[in-house]
Structures are given as C-alpha cells and as structure tokens.
Amino acid sequence: MSVLERQQDAASIATTTLEIEKAKLALEQEKLEVERYKARLERSKTLWTAMSVVASILVAAGTIVYGAWSLRKTAEANFVTKAAEIALQGPSPWEARNRARTIAALFGDMLPPRFVERFEKTDPSRFGSEGDETIPSKKELIKLLAERPSQRAQILRDWRSVFPGDDWTAKIELKH
C-alpha cells in the first residue's frame, strides 16, 4: 500500500467518523427535542391537574357556603312561621294582635319589618271572624246550660241581665 492509498484510507476513515459523529449529534438533538416535548407535556399535565383541584375546591366551598346560607334562610322562615302561628293561636283577633306585639317586643330584630303592623292592619272579618270576642263565653254558657238543665231558665235570665245586647240567646229554647 502506498502512501497515497494510506492517506485516502485515512481520509475516508476520517470522513466516515465525521459522518458517524454528525449522525450521533443529530440523534442526540432528536432525543433532546423528545425530552423537551415530554417536559412540556408534563408541565401541561401538572397545570391541568392543579386547575382541576382548584376547581373542585371552589365547587366544594361554594356548596358549603350555599348550604350555610340556605340553612340560615330556612331557619329564619321557620322562626317567622312559628311566630305567626303562636300569634294566631289567640282565641280572638285582638288577642292575636297582642301576641304579635309581645313576640315583636321579645324578638323584634329576628322578625321581618312590619310584622306587628300587618297584624294591626288585618281585618279579621275577612277571615271568618267577625270581631266577636265573646265566642269563648258563649261556649261557656252553652256548656253551663248542658251541665245544669234544671237551672236553664235562671242561667239564661242571669245571662241576659248581664249581657242585655246578646240577642242570640233568644234562639235558645227553654224546655223543662
């Protein structure tokens, strides 16, 4: 082998080595790009995971806040309903008004504004009561007449003398 052939072989080997090194470099660059892509993908996954966790926490917090608000509104509505129920249990419209005043004096800050005013302005005759506060006393008279049938006449005379304007007692028949 001549020197020229050796130089050509050496040059050929150098060229081949250089091409191999370039191929290795290109391969390493592709690997680097793949690694960069994987890193971007991992950051994206992390971001989406964090956003889903934050969204879940916000939804849970919203649910808790709404639940507390709803519970409070329900309790307020129940309180007002019970206050009205207690006031309306009075045997007469006037007693209902007095009960409403008492409840408002005790729990005024927990009741709607104008709670008592609504009771004051309500016309009881619109709801079946004609302003007759004597219904309990009428019931008592009828009970007394039923318990003492032998004294009916005397009981009715006494009633009519005490309550001369009670014309309804004229409808009661006296049977001996």
**Where are the domains positioned within the chain?**
3-122, 132-176
In angstroms, rounded to a whole number, what is the distance separating the alpha carbons of residues 158 and 137? Answer: 14
pLDDT in tens, 6-56: 666 767 777 888 888 888 888 999 999 999 999 999 999 999 999 999 999
The predicted pLDDT at position 56 comes to 96
Q: Which residue has the tokens 């050509």?
A: 8
Phi, psi (deg, nearest 5) at residue 112 = -65, 155
Ranges of the chain whose pLDDT falls below 50: none
The predicted pLDDT at position 124 comes to 65
The predicted pLDDT at position 119 comes to 75
0.95 surpassed by pTM: no
Contact criterion met (CB below 8 Å) for 78 and 93:
no
In angstroms, rounded to a whole number, what is the distance separating the alpha carbons of residues 85 and 74? Answer: 16
The predicted pLDDT at position 70 comes to 96
Mean pLDDT of the chain: 83
In angstroms, rounded to a whole number, what is the distance separating the alpha carbons of residues 172 and 138? Answer: 12
